[in-house]
């Protein structure tokens, strides 16, 4: 594994026009390199089209208003801070990246698809935010995850204030039929990668005396579901790690919490909208969640507004676990 150099980055307490607002660092096994990318109309259009496509699907099926990630209200609650959001080239992670950037954070957008990650970062910078791109398969090996952590920190100017462990995979099926490869991938992506990243980045937060880590888990960690055994178990493991890390790092200034989304409609599962509607019909909310709902909860936990919150799992699930209305 050879890590690539990051020679410049996009960051400022105030956002200004910059010649190179997006830095892309591609990390892969036994190779490395840097490919700068500029925010351009094509990439912004790609992100915009994806966001509007989901908005239209939700509007058509639910008849409710949605939040466009390209027109979020801006504030300064995270001004001057840096954030890594893994798995942020689409879906919930994309919304988290946009919301943190809209509150002033310089965000590293991560994913395995270079074009999609660059489109998200270009949309953020095109709207006046600060973003960099570091891509790669974090589950490839512990070395790959640690190389990513180092490159992302360098892209952010040498330090990380907020880590959002969002990347995850969801292979499902009867226990006897779940392949060995799926089992290994689930454990690596959903448990080992967050562990590797916290191990790599939390010491720097401790040294500075401050930081926030937010793990994305799932409502399914709290219920037993047939044919979906291991995925919820990995999320339960991450919730336990959230509590353990709160005990380990909290006394030294690093807050660790988690957000447990409910059945959430994303571009990746839009084709399953009817299933999501059936799942949520008996919940108090009565409808699927939106990525922006999760993103707002993450921003809260990352901000000073949550300064007295440690080791908690904030359920943003429309009440699907806590209550039934029919």
Q: Catalytic pick from 11, 148, 219, 231?
A: 231
Residue 122 contacts residue 115 (beta carbons within 8 Å) = no
Question: Is 308 designated active site?
Answer: no
Query: Active-site residue numbers?
Result: 231
């Amino acid at each position: 594994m050879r890590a690539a150099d990051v020679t410049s980055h996009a960051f400022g307490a105030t956002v200004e026009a910059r010649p190179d607002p997006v830095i892309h660092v591609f990390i892969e096994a036994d190779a490395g390199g840097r490919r700068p990318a500029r925010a351009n109309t094509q990439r912004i259009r790609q992100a915009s089209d994806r966001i509007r496509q989901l908005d239209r699907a939700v509007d058509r099926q639910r008849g409710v208003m949605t939040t466009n990630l390209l027109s979020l209200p801006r504030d300064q609650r995270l001004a001057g801070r840096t954030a890594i959001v893994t798995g942020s080239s689409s879906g919930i992670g994309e919304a988290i990246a946009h919301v943190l950037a809209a509150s002033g954070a310089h965000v590293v957008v991560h994913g395995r698809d270079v074009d999609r990650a660059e489109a998200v970062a270009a949309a953020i910078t095109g709207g006046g935010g600060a973003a960099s791109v570091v891509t790669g398969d974090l589950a490839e090996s512990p070395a790959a995850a640690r190389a990513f952590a180092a490159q992302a920190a360098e892209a952010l100017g040498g330090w990380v204030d907020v880590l959002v462990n969002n990347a995850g995979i969801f292979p499902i099926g009867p226990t006897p039929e779940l392949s060995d490869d799926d089992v290994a991938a689930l454990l690596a992506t959903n448990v080992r990668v967050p562990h590797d990243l916290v191990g790599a980045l939390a010491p720097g937060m401790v040294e500075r005396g401050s930081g926030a880590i937010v793990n994305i888990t799932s409502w399914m960690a709290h219920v037993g579901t047939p044919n979906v055994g291991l995925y919820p178990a990995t999320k339960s493991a991450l919730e336990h790690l959230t509590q353990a890390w709160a005990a380990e790092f909290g006394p030294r200034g690093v807050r660790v919490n988690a957000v447990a989304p409910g059945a959430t409609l994303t571009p990746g599962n839009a084709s399953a909208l009817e299933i999501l509607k059936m799942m949520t019909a008996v919940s108090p909310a009565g409808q699927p969640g939106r990525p922006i709902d999760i993103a707002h909860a993450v921003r809260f936990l990352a901000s000073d507004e949550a300064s007295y919150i440690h080791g908690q799992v904030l359920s943003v699930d429309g009440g699907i676990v806590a209550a039934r209305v029919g």
